[in-house]
Amino acid sequence: MRTRTPVVLFLAAALGAVVSRRALARIGSSALSGGLSLAGYGAHPRREPIARPDLLKLRHAEAERNRSAHRRLLVRLLERIKAEHDRHTAGAQKEPPVLDILVVSGGGDWGAFGAGFLKGWHKVPAQHALAKPEFDIVTGVSTGTLIAPFAFLGDEPALDQIVNLYRNPVADCVKPRGRLYFLPDNISLSEVPGLERELRRQISMDMVRRIAKAGADGRVLVVNTTNLDDAGPRVFDLVEEAQRAVDSGEFDRIHEIMLASAGIPGAFPFRIIDQELYVDGGVTGNILYGGRAEEEDALPAVWQRTYPDIPIPKIRFWVIFNNQFRPVPHVTAPRWIDVVQRSLETATRAATATAVKHLVALAEIARLKRNADVEIRLASIPGDWSPPAPGVFVKETMDNLADLGERMGADPASWDLLTRRFDA
C-alpha cells in the first residue's frame, strides 16, 4: 500500500479494496528475507479457548442482544415519527411525516464519491422534492462508517469536514509491520498509527456530544461490523454509544467500533470489543438496510400493530453506493494477484447488487401486505467512469471522485428511482 494515504480512506476501506497490488506482491518477495528481529512485528495477543457448548450459548446471547437492540431502535423511532404525526394533525407541522433513511455503502477509497455527493446534495434548494432531508436513520458500513456520523449531523461544516478528510493525506496513516509483516503470528499486515490518531482527533468528545444530542429525539445512527467469533454481523447503535460516552467521559469504544467496521481483514488490525473479535462490516453486508429482520419485525409491520388506526408514514430510502455496479471491463492479467483483487472487487459489487434487489423486494412486500409507500432511490459511480491514476488510495483519484460526487449530488436527476424491475 502507499504510505502517504488519506487516513479517512483507510478508515473507510471496504473489503473489496483488499490490499494493493504492491503490498500483495511484497508478500512473495519478503518471504525470501530472513535473519531479522521479530520484535515489534505485532504478534497476536493470547485469547483463551472456549468450549463449543459455551460458544453456542454466547451465540444465543448475541442473537438476543441484537434483537433487543433492534426493538429499542424501533421504539425510539416510532415515538419520534408519531410525535411528528401528532404535530401535523394539530396543524403545527405543515407536511405529514416522512421517514427518511440514508444508506451509505462500503467502497474503500471510492468513499470520496459519497462524501462529495452529500456535500453537493446539501446545495439543492430546500423547496425541491429531492432536497436533502434531515435523516431519521443513517446507516454506514466500512467507508460508510466514517461518512455516517457527519451525514447524521448533516450541516455544512460537518459535510465540509468529511470531504476535506478524504482529500488530504497523512504520512503515517498505514505502515507495514517491517519486512516480516507477512508472518502468520502478526495480528495484521499493517499497523495504522496515523489512522487511529486522526480518528481520535476528528471523532472528538465534542462531536460525540453532538451525535448524542442529535439522536435524543429518536433519530438513529447505526453501523455494521463483523463478529468473527460468532461468524455474523453486529450492528452498533452509535447514538446509544455516544450517550454512554457522554455519561462516562470515555469515548475510546466508539473509535474501536468504527475501526472495527472499517478494518480490512488481515490488512488492518482486528478489534476486540466485549471480549469478541471484530473486523470489517463489509464481510457480512456492504449496505445496512434492515434486511435481516423478519417481516413481522420490520418498521411497517410494527407501526401497523402499534398504531392500527394511523396510516404508515411514507418511507424513503436514499442509497449511496460508493462503487460501480458494472465497472468498465478490462482484460485481467493471468497472475494470482490480479485474479484475487478482481475477484474480491467483483464479489463485493455482486453482493451489494443482490442486497439492493432484496431491499426492492422488501419494499414491494410492504406495499402488497401493509399498503405501505416505500420509495428507494440510488446513486452510484457511473459505469463509464475510470480512475485517472492507477492504484488505490491515490489522491488524484479521490479528488476526482469527490468532484464527481459533488456535481452529481447537486443534480437531483442523479438519483435513480428503483422498482421491482431493478437490474444492476
Task: Give the residue among 172, 100, 113 at the shortest CA–CA distance from 143.
Answer: 113
Phi/psi region, residue 269 (left: phi>0; alpha: psi -120 to 50; beta: rest), is: beta
Partners of 5 in the β-ladder: 170
DSSP, residue by residue, 34-88: -S---TTS-BPPP-----HHHHHHHHHHHHHHHHHHHHHHHHHHHHHHHHHHHHH
> What average pLDDT is seen over the chain?
87
Q: What is the pTM of this model?
A: 0.88
Task: Give the residue among 280, 198, 223, 269 at the shortest CA–CA distance from 6.
Answer: 198
Q: What angle do CA 361, 97, 234 make, to 5 degrees?
A: 50
Q: How would you class 249 by CB atoms within 10 Å of its CB: exposed for 0-12, middle for 13-18, buried for 19 or more?
A: exposed
Q: What angle do CA 3, 285, 115 make, to 5 degrees?
A: 50
Q: Report the C-alpha gap between 332 and 315 in whole angstroms.
A: 42
Task: Give the residue among 408, 359, 392, 349 at the shortest CA–CA distance from 110.
Answer: 392
Residues of the chain under the 70 pLDDT cut:
1-45, 169, 420-424
Q: How would you class 110 by CB atoms within 10 Å of its CB: exposed for 0-12, middle for 13-18, buried for 19 or more?
A: buried
Q: Report the C-alpha gap between 151 and 158 in whole angstroms.
A: 7
- Altogether, the residues listed in the chain come to a count of 424
DSSP, residue by residue, 219-244: -EEEEEEEETTTTEEEEEEHHHHHHH
- Assess contact for 303 and 78: CB atoms under 8 A: yes
Q: What is the pLDDT of residue 393?
A: 76
- Assess contact for 231 and 162: CB atoms under 8 A: no
Question: Angle of helix 252-261 relative to helix 143-153, nearest 10 degrees?
Answer: 130
Alpha helices of 154-204 — where are they, by DSSP H? 156-167, 193-202
Q: Give the burial string for 208-240 (b: 16+ CB within 10 Å, else e).
A: bebbbebbeebbbbbbbbbbebbeebbbbbbbb
Q: Report the C-alpha gap between 226 and 379 in whole angstroms.
A: 25
Q: Report the C-alpha gap between 185 and 347 in whole angstroms.
A: 28
Q: What is the pLDDT of residue 196?
A: 86
The strand pair at 232-237 and 175-176 is best described as unpaired
Look-up: residue for cell 405529514?
96
Partners of 218 in the β-ladder: none
Q: Report the C-alpha gap between 346 and 334 in whole angstroms.
A: 16
Q: What is the pLDDT of residue 241?
A: 97
Partners of 176 in the β-ladder: 190
- Assess contact for 125 and 172: CB atoms under 8 A: no
Query: Dihedrals φ, ψ of 298, to 5°?
Result: -75, 160
Q: Which three cell numbers, joined as nine digits, stand for 297?
A: 419485525
